[in-house]
């Protein structure tokens, strides 16, 4: 054991000295490995950051453990034939159906309703086109986990009596009340004056769609201002993730029963949930990783070819040293291992430097772009592992060539 330990320690130390004697050459050799490792890790961190960013945006917009039922609700792709079939068969959800689902969804912690509309606003000569007017029940603040910056959200009593009140989004506040508190002021929607009782916390945008260009009003008031020919959306939520799929099935069965659909008949409504959206995001980012990561790994392969080239040069430069060691009793295996250790160490050093570079780049992007980029252990192991394997593979031929040198011929080399 002592001999084995001594051999590997000596081989490691010789490799370190060889690298330190040619610092610039070693660094230039490792540029490919450094860039390759950094690229793989940064790409991995970007994909992880994108996944986290979109998931966080969805949770801010829709909350968690949240599902929605509507006439044409769906997620993912749908071909034209399926869309036409659903468009013919599906029926709008009514207030009675919402009440029935609310009464019969035992697993749901909350069941609410929402109606969508749009209006152009004009106040004191200031115009704001295409503002979303959302008629909601009071519990939509809990279902979608909305945050109120000023004032409060709509109450159950205000929904019951169709009160002329509203909660505005941040863009609406900036447009009409940029330098003042909007609470207590009035804003007109299709000629109806609504008292502002709350300001929603700024939520930002995603994929070009702003979540701050909204006005929330009581569902009953929305039915007065707009016609409700488009039906309602029914929203449900569970406190625990374990109950989520059960709640979805409870709501689905309740609506099927209300519509008297028998077992063989297909649903005449659509249903989407945040879990499906999360799965689609995972599939999307996995597809990106499947395309981009192999491309970045090519950089590591190119770096490995450069390492092989330099190791061949190193064998040529140290031919006399190899001959001397073999003359003193070194075996082919020991010579082979010596150069393999040096090649692997070279690539491992490059991998570590690449990791440090990637950490700096991801930190900079996080600060400048505001998207949290996380270096996952999977991509760290992948990049360092691949660089180490490349180091061993790149050193195989040079090491084999060195191990097969004739000691007499090698000693005559100068």
Instruction: Tell me which of 302 and 412 has the higher pLDDT.
Output: 302
The answer, yes or no, to whether residue 16 has pLDDT greater than 80, is no
Rounded to the nearest 10 degrees, the angle between the axes of helix 319-327 and helix 332-369 is 140
- At residue 332, the 3 state secondary structure works out as helix
Q: State the average pLDDT for the chain.
A: 80
Predicted confidence (pLDDT) per residue in 159-204, tens digit: 999 999 999 999 999 999 988 899 999 999 998 999 999 999 988 7
Does the pTM of the predicted model rise above 0.85? no
Q: Check residue 183 and give its pLDDT.
A: 94
Q: Give the DSSP per-residue string, 42-106.
A: HHHHHHHHHHHHHHHHHHHHH-SSEEEEETT---S---HHHHHHHHHH-----HHHHHHHHHH-T
Largest interatomic CA distance in the chain: 104
Rounded CA-CA distance 20/167 in Å is: 67
Predicted confidence (pLDDT) per residue in 278-310, tens digit: 666 677 777 777 777 777 777 777 777 777 777
């Amino acid at each position: 054991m002592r001999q084995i330990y001594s051999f590997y320690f000596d081989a490691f130390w010789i490799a370190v000295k060889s690298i330190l004697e040619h610092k610039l050459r070693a660094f230039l050799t490792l540029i490919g490995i450094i860039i390759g490792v950094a690229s793989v890790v940064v790409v991995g961190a970007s994909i992880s950051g994108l996944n986290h960013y979109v998931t966080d945006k969805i949770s801010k917009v829709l909350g968690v453990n949240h599902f929605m039922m509507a006439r044409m609700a769906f997620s993912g792709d749908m071909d034209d034939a399926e869309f036409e079939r659903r468009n013919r068969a599906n029926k709008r959800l009514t207030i009675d159906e919402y009440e029935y689902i609310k009464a019969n969804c035992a697993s749901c912690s909350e069941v609410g309703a929402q109606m969508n509309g749009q209006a152009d606003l004009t106040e004191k000569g200031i115009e704001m086109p295409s503002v979303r007017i959302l008629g909601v029940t009071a519990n939509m603040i809990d279902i979608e986990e909305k945050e109120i910056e000023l004032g409060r959200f709509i109450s159950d009593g205000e929904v019951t009596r169709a009160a002329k009140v509203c909660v505005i989004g941040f863009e609406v506040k900036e447009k009409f009340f940029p330098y003042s508190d909007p609470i207590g002021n009035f804003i007109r929607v299709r000629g109806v004056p609504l008292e502002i009782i709350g300001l929603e916390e700024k939520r930002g945008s995603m994929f070009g769609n702003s979540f701050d260009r909204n006005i929330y009003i009581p569902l009953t008031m929305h039915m007065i201002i707009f016609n409700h020919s488009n039906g309602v959306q029914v929203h449900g939520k569970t406190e625990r993730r374990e109950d989520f799929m059960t709640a979805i099935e409870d709501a689905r069965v309740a609506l099927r029963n209300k519509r008297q659909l028998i077992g063989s008949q297909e649903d005449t409504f659509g249903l989407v949930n945040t879990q499906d959206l999360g799965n689609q995001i995972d599939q999307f980012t996995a597809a990106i990783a499947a395309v981009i990561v192999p491309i970045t790994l090519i950089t590591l392969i190119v770096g490995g070819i450069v390492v092989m080239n330099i190791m061949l040069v190193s064998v040529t430069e140290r031919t006399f040293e190899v001959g001397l060691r073999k003359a003193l009793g070194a075996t082919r295996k020991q010579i082979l291992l010596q150069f393999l250790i040096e090649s692997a160490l070279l690539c491992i050093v490059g991998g570590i430097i690449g990791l440090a570079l990637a950490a700096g780049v991801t930190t900079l992007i996080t600060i400048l772009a505001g998207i949290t980029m996380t270096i996952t252990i999977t991509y760290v192991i992948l990049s360092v592992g691949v660089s180490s394997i490349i180091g061993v593979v790149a050193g195989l031929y040079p090491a084999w060539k060195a191990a097969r040198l004739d000691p007499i011929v090698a000693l005559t080399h100068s």
